[in-house]
Structure 1
């Protein structure tokens, strides 16, 4: 006889913006370290990797709250439609 499946746990509430900002800070620290090391010409591309990480992290910290509020709005609309039916 198969066991009855337990319901899925609710999703964890995390601070995604804080995580994005921590990653951005890590890329900024890496950029400063690389600037202090005075890399040879063939390894200067690492600087652009750090700059890209910073830009993506800043975008993520701007975009994440908008994504989460949009998802919450959609869920509220779905719940309202379910209650009307």
Structure 2
């Protein structure tokens, strides 16, 4: 089997409002969890409790995701500021 090689460079990754997207998704999971709580007995009678706990798990994992993407965003901004500072200092060095 021949090894496949790319004919062109990969595109730059898309960067969007990652923190807002993860925060919004986490809120949706928690809202779904809270909306299902009044029907806990109905879900229990039909062996569908996993629906309730799936939403709780989505909200909990979303909190971890918010922590992660906020740290990532801060690191990207810090790196960009350092790169801009170095670029500004470079012409004056010579």
TM-score bracket relative to the smaller structure = 0.5 to 0.7
Unaligned runs of 5+ in 2: 1-10
**Are 2:51 and 1:51 equivalent residues in the alignment?**
no
Scaled by the length of structure 2, what TM-score is found?
Answer: 0.57
Scaled by the length of structure 1, what TM-score is found?
Answer: 0.62
For the pair shown, the structure with the greater C-alpha radius of gyration is: 2
How many residue pairs match? The answer is 75
> Aligned partners of 2:71, 2:30: CA distance in 1, in Å?
24
- What's the Cα RMSD here? 3.0
| Structure with the larger RCO, 1 or 2 (CA within 8 Å, 6+ apart) | 1
> Aligned partners of 1:27, 1:74: CA distance in 2, in Å?
32
> Aligned partners of 1:46, 1:64: CA distance in 2, in Å?
26
Task: Pick the aligned partner of 1:65 from 55, 70, 78.
Answer: 70
Unaligned runs of 5+ in 1: 1-7
